[in-house]
Amino acid sequence: MTPPVSHPILAHGRWFTLTLPEQLGNVGSEYERAMSWRKKNSPDHAQKAFDRMLELLDLTLSDPRWSGRRKELARLREEACRLLYSQDDSPGLGKYFLQFAALARRNK
């Protein structure tokens, strides 16, 4: 059974009009939400944010403009999953995603 789409407008085309920094900045927002809920010991909220993050990251992976970056994006997905499901309290990917959000904001 396929989970419901959390971002229907983005999933039906708008996502593919965003730049890579905009896409990864949005992915990072959901990643930070998931990590924040996890730290607050709220697994249901963390899982929902994590599912939204994966949905956006999978849309980014399917964007034909980034075909040359699929390996990097797939590795990012793998690392995000590892960090969200581990008890590792390392800094994680927050700084990585923040760079994209800052770049997207600067380019507006």
pLDDT at 45 over 60: yes
Q: What is the mean pLDDT of residues 64-68?
A: 96
Mean pLDDT rounded to a whole number for the chain: 88
d(CA 102, CA 27): 13
Name the amino acid, one letter, at 102.
A
Specify the pTM: 0.85
pLDDT at 3 over 60: no
Q: What pLDDT score does 9 carry?
A: 61
Residue 102 structure tokens: 């800052």
Residue 1 structure tokens: 């059974």
What are the C-alpha distances in Å from 62 to residues 70, 88, 94? 8, 29, 23
pLDDT level of residue 57 (50, 70, 90 thresholds): very high
